[in-house]
Amino acid sequence: MKRIIFIGIDDTDILEGPGTGKVARGVATRLEELGMGRHRGVIRHQLLVDPRIPYTSHNSAKCVLFETALPADTFRQPCIDYLAEHFQPGSDPGLCICEPGQVNQELEDYGASAQREYLSKKQAYELARKLGVFLIELGGTGDGVIGALAAAGLSAAGNDGRYVHLRGIKEIDGMITAGQVKERTDTVCIVDDRGQMVPDTALIDSLGWLRPSRINGEPKLRVCLERDGDGREVWRPIERKLRAHSGI
């Protein structure tokens, strides 16, 4: 029976090399090439920024959502192999693979805690063992297991993070209608700042950057109504503004 498994990845990068987001997208692509199922996006989760935590740029972890009928343990070696090929020397990568049936409130709470508290590898491994979740470090200090487990918990909870990879989303640029966005992507719902769906005819200014948020387990693009330089009413991504304000 098909379901979504959660593949958490963290700390595969260094400042001079490709980021963890690129590695996570590569994992999603590799698994599809192997015929193991279909990816449903890669989500970025912001974790705690704290002087005690070594991180490359913003301390975010990624989670691949992967739809499959295969057992989760069949994903272990392909994911390990890909990360071993692509993580940067000097990084501290961690990998988590989680079945939906292993998700409970404790795992979701752990993910939320990683956004506001300093956590240890010991805590991550203890929880993974308790839930039967696959968690492994692949180099360096292995501290990436903390974020990898947190990313799985946050994605499973369904109300955190933004999609940095979603089928068709990166090809969208310039002005486009809401209906065209939905046609070109995987089930993106477009809502205004009150959570109401905008009509398919609404004109969206992509600003070259559409990154839906994960809301209620789905990708939702939040937009606000503004006027462009010609005085036209256009909808622009709220996430873009939030990113510009926060710098992450």
Where among 140, 162, 184 does a domain terminate? 162
Where among 115, 140, 162 does a domain terminate? 162
Cα 137 to chain center, whole Å? Answer: 19
Q: 60 and 180 share a domain? A: no
Q: 148 and 46 share a domain? A: yes
Q: What is the 3-state secondary structure (H, E, C) of 176-195?
A: EEHHHHHHHCCCCEEECCCC
| pLDDT digits (tens), the chain, 248 positions | 899 999 999 976 554 556 788 999 999 999 999 999 999 999 999 998 866 666 555 688 999 999 999 999 999 999 999 999 988 877 889 999 999 999 999 999 999 999 999 999 999 999 999 999 999 999 888 899 999 999 999 999 999 999 999 999 888 989 999 999 989 886 678 999 898 999 999 999 988 878 999 999 999 999 999 987 777 889 999 876 655 445 45
For residue 149, give its domain range. Answer: 3-162
The answer to whether the beta carbons of residues 70 and 113 sit under 8 Å apart is: no
Residues 6+ apart with CB under 8 A from 73: 97, 134
Q: 57 and 25 share a domain? A: yes
Q: What angle do CA 221, 30, 107 make, to 5 degrees?
A: 60
**CATH label of the domain that carries residue 68:** 3.30.70.2200
Q: 143 and 71 share a domain? A: yes
Q: 148 and 187 share a domain? A: no
Cα 25 to chain center, whole Å? Answer: 10
**For the chain, how many structural domains are there in total?**
2
